[in-house]
Amino acid sequence: MHIHILGICGTFMGGIASLAAEKGFKVTGQDENVYPPMSTQLEKLGIELQEGYQSKHLQPYPDVVVIGNALKRGVEAVEYVLNEGIKYQSGPQWLAENILNERWVIAVAGTHGKTTTTGMIAWILEFAGFNPGFLVGGIPANFGLSAKWGQDPYFVVEADEYDSAFFDKRSKFVHYHPKTCVLNNLEFDHADIFNNLDEIKKQFHHLVRTVPGKGALIVPKNDKELQDVLKMGAWSDVIFFGNNGEWQAVLHASDGSSFDVHYQGKNQGQVKWQLIGEHNVSNALAAIAATHHAGIRPGVAIEALAGFQSVKRRMEVKGQVNNVTVYDDFAHHPTAIETTIAGLRAKIGQKRLIAIVDIRSNTMCMGTHQHEMAKSLAKADKVLVYQSPKVSWNIKQTLAELGDNLMVAQDTQHIIDAVLQMVQPNDHILIMSNGGFDNIHQRLLQALAQTEMVA
């Protein structure tokens, strides 16, 4: 069978491509923007990529076209599919029909932490001796790929609340029908498709409706918005984690690199791992609780997390030059930015932290969270913000309280030049973007290598 994917370089659609190729399907695809890490993964799998959405890439006709949710009516390739009567599906529908219908699905939903938590759960199952399938919105370092078919019974999927396709406006996760469902947290996001938080809560309620009675919901005890979702109805066991929950963490290190795991008041063991940040401690509790529901002993999960290597683009060290460390992180929502900076600050103490932020997502460009940004960046010593033409709000004015610590630029080269002027030995440079960001990470490292710094 020949599957052609429109929007193949998105993390989710790239995962679909990988799964189909692993099962022996002929897979081709096209995208408007081709960039790593997904393009690299697909090329390694021998998947033919075409840049641009021209109809000629759909000749001869594939058996089915899987259409990503970034595609809209009016796009040449989309119009060709409709006019020619070629069979088409959304990515979530293809996943549900071809893989999930016979598996123990463990789904991870929430505004933040989905990718990392999904990677943790897959790794715990792997460590426990299973061969889980998974689809993650990133590349877990333990596996080196974003998706794997695996073997029965388990399939772990990152469950996104974004819509499925231009012809299916339901959230992706309603297709997945999980037996174990993690609801990590809930905030307003995706302002381009949701008008308010209540609309998102309704979609989460629809997800809860699909979890069977013998299944389980894994939920943070003190998340008010998720409590509202549960009040709409819950027909499965609800297992709480975090403060006042059945699963709790007791920190040994303020940066979250070491903590005890307690279940129903009893210490299950100590996690010592590479990750930092209280948000990752919370992700770990969710992962341990989810795998416990799936039959994995807490001690095994704790031992597994000691070897968990996180996910690419989640506080990933891209390089160190002249004692300056450059990190790449996917954070783009104010809460994610704040927790990411807080985690790094706890790790590096009083050393200088330079934050570089790409205002890129539709929600952020619209300015939905603009008044939360100054607070989220407050713990950084210097803040450099990229303002693309898509940004509809005045960044410099809105973040004025950051004072002389703030610089706004319309060009990534200006950001690199500014960093070279201010950088000092032992600085930590945290780059946060949910896109390719003009390959700024490698360009900056190369520039730093050619710069002589004075302590």
For residue range 363-407, list pLDDT tens digits in order.
777 777 777 888 889 999 999 999 888 888 888 888 888 898 998
**Integer Cα distance of 28 and 1 in angstroms:** 11
Q: Are 440 and 414 in contact (CB under 8 A)?
A: no
Angle between helices 298-305 and 278-293 (to 10 degrees): 140
- 2-90, CATH topology level: Rossmann fold (3.40.50)
Percent of the residues in the chain that have a pLDDT greater than 70, as a whole number: 97
Q: pLDDT class for 37, splitting at 50, 70, 90? A: low
Q: Is the pLDDT of residue 254 over 70?
A: yes
Long-range CB contact pairs, 151-155, < 8 A, 24+: 152/102, 152/103, 152/104, 153/103, 153/104, 154/103, 154/104, 154/106, 154/125, 154/130, 154/294, 155/99, 155/100, 155/103, 155/104, 155/105, 155/106
pLDDT of residue 58: 96
Q: Which two tokens stand for residue 314?
A: 């989640």
The whole-number average pLDDT for the span 148-165 is 94
Of 112 and 203, the one with more pLDDT? 203
Does the 316-449 domain belong in CATH 3.40.50.300? no
- pLDDT at residue number 39: 77
- Of the segments 16-20, 139-143, 341-345, which one has the largest average pLDDT value? 16-20
How many residues in the chain? 455
Helix, strand, coil percentages (3-state) for the chain, rounded to 5, are: 35, 25, 40
Question: Nearest Cα to 130, choosing from 139, 122, 138, 118?
Answer: 122
Other CB atoms within 10 A of residue 450 CB: 8
User: Using CA atoms, how far apart are residues 216 and 167, in angstroms rounded to an integer?
Assistant: 30
Which DSSP helix (H) or strand (E) runs through 263? strand 258-263
Q: How many helices (H) and strands (E) does the chain have?
A: 15, 23
Which of the two residues, 437 and 53, has the higher pLDDT score?
Answer: 53
Kindly give, in sequence order, each residue whose CB lies less than 8 Å from that of residue 255, ignoring residues fewer than 6 positions away.
Answer: 276, 277, 343, 346, 347
How much is the average pLDDT of 6-27?
Answer: 92
Domain boundaries, the chain: 2-90, 99-305, 316-449
Q: Can you tell me the distance from the alpha carbon of 361 to that of 30, in angstroms, rounded to the nearest whole number? A: 21
CB atoms within 10 A of CB 25: 16
pLDDT at residue 246 above 70?
yes
Q: What is the pLDDT of residues 321-370, one digit of tens each?
A: 988 999 998 877 788 888 889 889 988 999 999 999 988 877 777 777 77
Evaluate whether 338 touches 439 at the Cβ level (below 8 Å): no
How far apart, in whole angstroms, are the C-alpha atoms of residue 144 and residue 129? 18
Q: Is the pLDDT of residue 455 over 60?
A: no
What three-state secondary structure class fits 14?
A: helix
Kindly indicate the confidence band of residue 453, based on its pLDDT and cuts at 50, 70 and 90: low
60: cis peptide before it, omega within 30°?
yes
Query: Residue 127 pLDDT > 90, yes or no?
Result: yes
Q: How is residue 192 annotated by DSSP?
A: T
Region 81-95: mean pLDDT is: 98
Domain 99-305, CATH: 3.40.1190.10
Question: What's the confidence (pLDDT) of residue 36?
Answer: 67
Among 118-127, 329-338, 442-451, the least confident range: 329-338
Non-local CB neighbours of 450 within 8 Å, separated by 6+ positions: none
Arithmetic mean of pLDDT, 65-74: 96
Range 174-191 average pLDDT: 90
